[in-house]
């Protein structure tokens, strides 16, 4: 391709193809779309990426990303510091914030324990979590990790690690997703939903 449209376009396509959700073909389509919308999209996106690269930092308290450290969530005095929600990734934090039912503080692990992939406790932001709990003030740690083997392993490991402290560890409920149809659900979810059934 380099001899068709020049190395600049080829480089743009190659970098776009490294975004999750874009393959070589959709990266080419995206590049053409960007070049067509040079003024409204390509320029602003280049600027937004430059700003993000230069200004976004990881919060030293909770592991969230923001343009300030501590992040705006940690700096917000209205947040309830007695509840700490432990998540695997910043994307999970965003998902919980979109649900909008929590006014708690967060702690981002940066992943889940995964012996097969060589991810041990030292690779995760776990030491800082224990430090925050040891400081006192936290009454409940909600382990909002994924309902995967790695996520659950991580939850149990952290529960064990926090057992010396006077803190309650909880996990998210399992059950039927809101709007979900029973016919499409796996047996594990249905069993969990039956076991945790609620009186009407």
By the rule CB under 8 A, 52 interacts with a copy of itself: yes
**CA quadruple 173, 179, 182, 185: dihedral sign:** negative
Which DSSP state fits 42? I
66 binds a copy of itself (CB under 8 A): yes
Q: Of residues 32, 134, 147, 149, which one binds a copy of itself by CB under 8 A?
A: 32
21 binds a copy of itself (CB under 8 A): yes
User: What are the φ/ψ torsions at residue 128 (nearest 5 degrees)?
Assistant: -65, -30
Enumerate residues 79-118 that contact a copy of itself by CB under 8 A: 89-91, 93-94, 97-98
Strand partners, 170: 142
42-49 long-range contacts (CB < 8 A, ≥24 apart) are none
User: Of the listed pieces 68-76, 143-151, 165-173, 176-184, which binds a copy of itself according to CB under 8 A?
Assistant: 68-76
Residue at token pair 């926090």? 162
Pick between residue 66 and residue 150 the one whose CB is nearest to a copy of itself.
66
**Using CB under 8 A, which of the segments 3-11, 131-139, 140-148, 187-195 binds a copy of itself?**
3-11
Query: For residues 81-111, b (16+ Cβ closer than 10 Å) or e, as one string?
Result: eebbbbbbbbebbeebeeeeeeebbbbbbeb
Residues engaged in binding a copy of itself (CB under 8 A): 1, 3-6, 8-9, 11-12, 15-16, 18-22, 26, 28-35, 37-38, 41-53, 55-56, 64-68, 71-73, 89-91, 93-94, 97-98
């Amino acid at each position: 391709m380099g001899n068709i449209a020049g190395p600049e376009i080829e480089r743009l396509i190659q970098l776009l193809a490294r975004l999750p959700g874009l393959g070589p073909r959709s990266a080419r389509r995206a590049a053409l779309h960007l070049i067509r919308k040079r003024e409204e999209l390509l320029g602003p996106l280049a600027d937004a990426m430059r700003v993000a690269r230069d200004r976004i930092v990881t919060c030293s308290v909770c592991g969230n990303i923001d343009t300030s450290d501590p992040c705006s969530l940690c700096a917000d005095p209205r947040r309830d510091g007695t509840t700490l929600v432990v998540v695997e990734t910043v994307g999970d934090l965003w998902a919980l914030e979109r649900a909008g039912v929590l006014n708690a503080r967060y702690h981002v692990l940066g992943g889940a324990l995964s012996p097969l992939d060589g991810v041990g406790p030292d690779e995760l932001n776990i030491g800082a979590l224990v430090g925050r709990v040891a400081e006192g003030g936290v009454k409940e740690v909600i382990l909002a990790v994924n309902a995967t083997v790695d996520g659950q392993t991580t939850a149990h490991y952290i529960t064990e690690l926090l057992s010396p402290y006077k803190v309650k560890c909880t996990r998210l409920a399992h059950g039927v997703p809101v709007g979900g149809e029973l016919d499409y659900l796996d047996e594990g979810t249905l069993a969990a939903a039956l076991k945790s059934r609620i009186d009407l």
